Amino acid sequence: MIQIIEANSRKLLTDYVKFPFSLYKNHSYWVPPLISDELETFDKSKNPAFDNAEAHFYLAYKDNQIVGRIAAIINWEEVNNQQKRKVRFGWWDVIDDIEVTKVLLEKVYELGRKNNLDYVEGPIGFSNLDKVGVLTEGFDSLGTMITWYNFPYYKNHLEELGFVKEKEYFESTFSFSNVDPNTFMKASDLIQKRYELKTLTFTNTKDIMPYVDKMFDLFNTSYAKLASFVAVSERQKEYFKKKYISFINPEYILFIVDKHEKLIAFSIVMPNFAQALQKANGRLFPFGFYHILKAKKSSKDVLFYLIGVEPEYQNKGVTALIFREYYRVFKEKGIEKCIRTPELEENNAIHNLWKNFNSVVDRKRRTYRIDL
């Protein structure tokens, strides 16, 4: 018999966070999150996502052992203002028993029907800055800190239960040694002069902070037309600013402004913390912090996390300026591999940015939906 319990206490939420650590114990390609970071994400008093969202976290037990987990989420901003009558599910992990998946998903259906919603989509988090998608290809490659890993049977469970593909995402890599600077160097100089643009680079995190709110405003503008997009709120700006900006090398954050100092483009690249997080195994102390700091300083792999461009500049080649600056930084640091994090299949604008970089799609993931 499968028993479902809502994780509504600190102890149960800790069990919820720790379940994947047992499911993927010693797995070569799973990247553990930080336990403290996950607990903060699920803390209604700390995470401003709960200002506009409702979430319930469930654990499945069989023979007194945890065998699965799921989060049932309603983003009320999405439902009320965008008229997308959707209940989300996320942070889903399960043993290879479709009956466990079935009873966990029943809790998601229950929340959706209770609120007269039309369909379910997942796995997906509170917002576009959360992890997304079931891995469908690329099970034999190391994940990243901003993606979920899962076994191949996850996809099978959903499809056997009647779910169909909603959105597809691609993850790609390319070798920095294969990047030809001639594809963007000359163009970047011409574009910079034509539109009177200026690149802002940094060596100190405190110098970045005055631009961060504007960056999130531009993020909201440049991604607004994409599916499932929910704008970053004012409180979320402050939350992400404190939580993440200091975590990223300042030289990996780049802004472009026009002659009036208006922000028209930004890019955030991160060191690849995957192996460091595997060594930390969920904990900053006693040694996890050391591994993460070491990766921040010396990782030879980087993740292209976010690129945003003001819509009126999206077809004017301003990303050539971004590539020019990163080429200089990466060359100095001896970067070897560049990783493109999940990009929507339909996002042709972002795919076109990489047409000269000889990228290889090595992982695919998707969200699934089912009507209620």
Per-residue tokens: 111: 């929340």
Domain formed by 2-170, architecture: 3-Layer(aba) Sandwich (3.40)
For the segment 45-49, the average pLDDT, to the nearest whole number, is 93
Residue 9 CA to residue 140 CA, distance in Å, equals 36
Per the rule left: phi > 0, alpha: psi between -120 and 50, beta: everything else, 334 is left
Query: Is 145 exposed, middle or buried (CB count within 10 Å of its CB: 0-12, 13-18, 19+)?
Result: buried
Find the mean pLDDT for residues 104-128. 96
Distance, CA of 338 to CA of 274 (rounded, Å): 13
Greatest mean pLDDT among 77-81, 106-110, 343-347? 106-110
pLDDT band for 356, please (50, 70, 90 cuts): confident
Chain centroid to CA 259: how far? 32
pLDDT score recorded for residue 228:
63
**Contact yes or no for 58/5 (Cβ under 8 A):** yes
Instruction: Round the average pLDDT of the chain to a whole number and report it.
Output: 93
* Euclidean distance between CA atoms 357 and 365, whole angstroms: 22
Mean pLDDT value across residues 55-81: 96
Confidence at 190, pLDDT banded by 50, 70, 90: very high
Q: Which pLDDT band, with edges at 50, 70 and 90, does 175 fall under?
A: very high
Residue 347, pLDDT score: 79
Say what the pLDDT of residue 240 is: 85
Q: What is the CATH number of domain 175-363?
A: 3.40.630.30
Half-sphere CA count of 347, side-chain side, radius 13 A: 24
Q: Would you say 8 and 107 are in contact if contact means Cβ atoms under 8 Å apart?
A: no
Percentage of the chain surpassing pLDDT 70?
99
Q: Using 50, 70 and 90 to split pLDDT, how confident is the model at 346?
A: confident
Residue 321 has pLDDT above 70, yes or no: yes
Percent pLDDT > 90 in the chain is 78
In degrees to the nearest 10, what's the CA dihedral of 287, 293, 297, 298?
A: 30
Q: Could you tell me where in the chain the CATH 3.40.630.30 domains are found?
A: 2-170, 175-363
What pLDDT digit, counting tens, does each position of 1-44 carry?
Answer: 999 999 999 999 999 999 999 999 999 999 999 999 999 999 99
pLDDT of res. 334: 96
pLDDT of residue 138: 96
Question: Regarding beta strands 301-309 and 337-344, do their DSSP bridges make them parallel or antiparallel, or are they unpaired?
Answer: parallel
DSSP code string of 240-261 = HHHHHGGGS-GGGEEEEE-TT-
pLDDT value, residue 242: 82
Given a cut of 80, is residue 227 above it in pLDDT?
no
